[in-house]
Copies of this chain bind each other. A is one copy, B any other.
Amino acid sequence: MDKGRALIEPQAPVEPDDYADHRLTEVIELFFFAYRDFTSDPDEILEKYEFGRAHGRVMHFVGRNPGISVAELLNILRITKQSLARVLRELIERGFVRQEEGPRDRRQRLLFLSQAGIELVRKVDVPQRARVRRALEAAGPEARELWPGMLLGIVNPEDRAAVSALVSKPRVVGEDR
C-alpha cells in the first residue's frame, strides 16, 4: 500500500538540507525498528526458561565480565539495585548465576555464570549473532569497520570511554567460537 521511495539510493535527490534532515529521521526510525527485531531473538528463547529480557541482560554481562561486582553491573545496566535484586535472586536460586565473596573486599559479591548459565547465554546468542552477522555481511567490508564507531557515536560522550573499554574486551563466555 505504501509505495515510498527507495531507501538506500533516493531516486530524486532533494535539496541538500532537506536530504540531510530526512536522513536523520530515517536513522531514528530505523533504530526503533532494528532494535524491536534485534531483541526479539533473545526474548523467544528466554521465554522457554520463564526468564525475561532483564535476566538475559544480566547473564550476558556477567558472562562477559566474570567476577563483576554488583556495583559495576548496576553501572552497566543503569537500573536500581532493587530492580537488579529481583532478577539476580531468581538467577541465583535457579542456578544460572553464582556469587563469590570478593577476595580483597569481603563486602563484595562477585558474580559468575554457572555452567547452566554459560550454556543458556550461548543458546540465546546464536540467533542474535546470526542476525548481526547477516547484516554485517550484507553491508559489506567497509561497513563492518564503521559499525562500532557509529554506534559508539550515539552513546553519551561521557560514557564512551567506559563503553568502549567494555565492549572491546575479548570474549569470555563461549571460549569456543
The chain A residues found within 8 Å of chain B, CB to CB, are 2-8, 10, 14, 17-18, 20-38, 40, 57, 60, 64, 78, 125, 128-129, 131-136, 138-140, 142-156, 159, 162-171, 177
In the complex this chain forms, how many copies of it are found?
Answer: 2
Of the A-B pairs whose beta carbons lie under 8 Å apart in the complex, a sample of 12, sorted by A's number, is: A18-B171, A21-B171, A25-B171, A26-B167, A29-B60, A33-B163, A33-B167, A37-B155, A138-B153, A142-B142, A147-B150, A150-B150
In the assembled complex, the Cα of A170 lies from the Cα of B7 at a distance in Å of 11
Query: How near does chain B come to A176, taking the closest CB pair, in angstroms?
Result: 10
Determine if A165 and B23 form an interchain contact, defined as CB atoms under 8 angstroms apart: no
In the assembled complex, the Cα of A154 lies from the Cα of B37 at a distance in Å of 7
Contacts of A150 in B (CB 8 A): 135, 139, 143, 147, 150
Cβ contact of A28, chosen from B24, B78, B129, B152, cutoff 8 A: B129
Q: Which 10 A-B pairs have the closest CB atoms?
A: A135-B153, A4-B165, A30-B151, A34-B154, A7-B164, A2-B165, A34-B151, A29-B167, A4-B168, A139-B150
